[in-house]
Amino acid sequence: MYEDHGREVFAVRAVDLTVHDGEFLGILGPSGSGKSSLLYLLSGLKTPSAGEIRLDGQALASRTETERAEIRLTRFGFVFQHPHLLGYLSALENVLLARPDGDRRPEAETLLTTLGLADKAHRLPYELSGGERQRVCVARALMGRPRAVFADEPTAALDHRNGVQVVEMLNQGRGDGALIIVTHDPTMLVHADRIVTLVDGEIAETPD
C-alpha cells in the first residue's frame, strides 16, 4: 500500500510467493498491475504496510534499514528499467560500485569481457549506446555472484534483440543465484523456471 495524493493505494495484496535458491522466476503483468512494487518488496527496497517478506525465515522488516541495505549490497543484484549509471564513472567503475569492498577489479573486468564490453570498460556512460549501458548494469548486478538478481523490466528501453541478449546474459551469469525478472513481455521469459502473473496487485495464476 502506498499513498497517492492522500489516497491509500494497494499496489500488491494477498500475495503469497516463495522464491527458491537458484530459481529463475518471471513476474508477468500489464502496466500498473503491481509487479514492480512486488519486486521492490521482495528485494527489501520497499517495506510492506501489511504482511511479511522473509529471507531465510527472517522477516526483512525486523531488520534495521542499514541491515537491509547491507543485504542488498552483498547478496542481491539489481537491474532497473532504465540503465542507471553514474555519469562521472567509467563502465568499469560503475560495475565496481556493486561491490565496494576489496579489490574486485579483475572480476569486474571479466564480467565486462563476458558481456562484450572489454574495449569499453574505461568509457563514460555517455559514450555507450543504450544496449551497452544496460549490459554494464547487468555486469554490475552480477558482481560478487549475488544470491538473487532482481530485474525490473530490464528490456523495456531496448529493442527486442538487445532485450533477449540482456535476459540471456542475466540467466547465464547468475550462476547459482536466483533471478527474478519483472516484465510485460512473455517472450523474455522462455527460460524461466516459473512465471507468476499479476493482475491488479494479485497473483492471477502460477503456471508450472
Partner 1 sequence: MYLRRNRGKSAPLTLVIVLAVLLIAGIVAMINSIPLSIRTIYAYSQNYLGVTPRGDPMQTPILRAVIERESPVPIDRILTVRGSEAQVTSIVGDWPFAVLGLPPKDFDYYLRRMGVTRISGRLPKSGAPEALVSEPVARNQKLRIGSIVIGPDKNDAYSPLPVRVVGIAQSPNWMMLTTYEYHRQHHFPPIDVLLVFAKNRADQARLDDWAIQRFEGRRARLFAYRQLEEEADSMFKILYKILNVIIGTLVLVITFMMGMLMNIYLSQRVPEFGLLQALGYSKRTIVRRVLGETALVVGVGWALGLVAAYGLLSLVRMLLMDPQAFALDALDRTAYLYSMPVPLAILLTGVLTVIARFRKFDPVSVVERRLL
Binding to partner 1 in span 85-124, by CB under 8 A? 86, 88-89, 93, 97-98, 100
Give the range of 6-14, 51-59, 79-87, 190-198 binding partner 1 by CB under 8 A: 79-87
31: contact with partner 1 by CB under 8 A: no
Among 13, 81, 185, 194, binds partner 1 (CB under 8 A): 81
Cell 522466476 belongs to 25
Output the smallest distance, CB 73 to partner 1, in A: 3
Angle CA 139–144–116, to nearest 5: 25
β-bridge pairing 7-9 and 76-79: unpaired
Residue type, 140: R
Size of the site for partner 1 (CB under 8 A): 27
Q: What is the CA radius of gyration of the chain?
A: 17
1 versus 71: smaller Cβ distance to partner 1: 71
70: contact with partner 1 by CB under 8 A: yes
Task: Tell me the C-alpha distance between 111 and 151, whole Å.
Answer: 17
